[in-house]
Amino acid sequence: MLVAALAAFSLYGFGFGIFLAKLPAAGSGTAATADGIVALTGEGDRLAPAVTLLETGHGKRLLITGVNRLISKTYLKKLLRAGETFDCCADLGFAAIDTRGNAQEAAEWVRAHRYASLIVVTADYHMPRTLVEFAAALPGVRLVPYPVADPPETLSWQSAKRLNGEYAKYLASVVHASLVRFSQAA
């Protein structure tokens, strides 16, 4: 029993190390063009880069998913110092409460606009799980990651806990996405 527990712990630790090593570097997102842009709300400065991508013509429309129902488009425009493009081409999604919900909300938006490609803007540490969930919800849609730095830069006990929690959620998303693919293939 102890050997099995040590093996499981070692396997988890090894996987966590690989997860950390493969996290995308902030700012490694390309300035590629896609049909649409989606930004996930949450910690860090995720929205301003998405608005910049929209305003510089990297996508036709922007979806900000997971917005608190008390937030208005006017408030966000002012907060983000967005230009006129924000008025016509930014949509707010209020339904999502987690990453899987963000993916489902984005999938509805992508289908409504008939988009084939999407720039995905979220925190660097959150990108792997986001891409797994989005790929499961949007099969056949080209996803272009645009990771945003999420402070702090230095590793602390709190950031290590957050990264470990994100890794556990990532593993759950991988299992969920695999089950979705399996059920679609059956």
Distance between alpha carbon 16 and the CA centroid of its chain, in Å?
19
Q: Which pLDDT does position 54 carry in this prediction?
A: 95
pLDDT averages per 10-residue partition of the chain, 186 residues: 82 84 71 92 85 94 96 93 93 95 97 97 92 94 90 70 88 87 72
Partners of residue 40 on adjacent β-strands: 65
- The answer to whether 62 and 37 have CB atoms below 8 angstroms apart is yes
- pTM here is 0.85
Place of tokens 């990108």: 127
Q: Which pLDDT does position 39 carry in this prediction?
A: 96
**Any idea what DSSP says for residue 66?**
S
Which domains does the chain possess? 22-185 (3.40.50)
Q: Which pLDDT does position 166 carry in this prediction?
A: 85
- Closest CA relative to residue 146, chosen from 54, 36, 32: 32
Q: Which pLDDT does position 104 carry in this prediction?
A: 97
In degrees, rounded to 5, the angle at the alpha carbon of residue 65 between the alpha carbons of residues 50 and 21 is 65
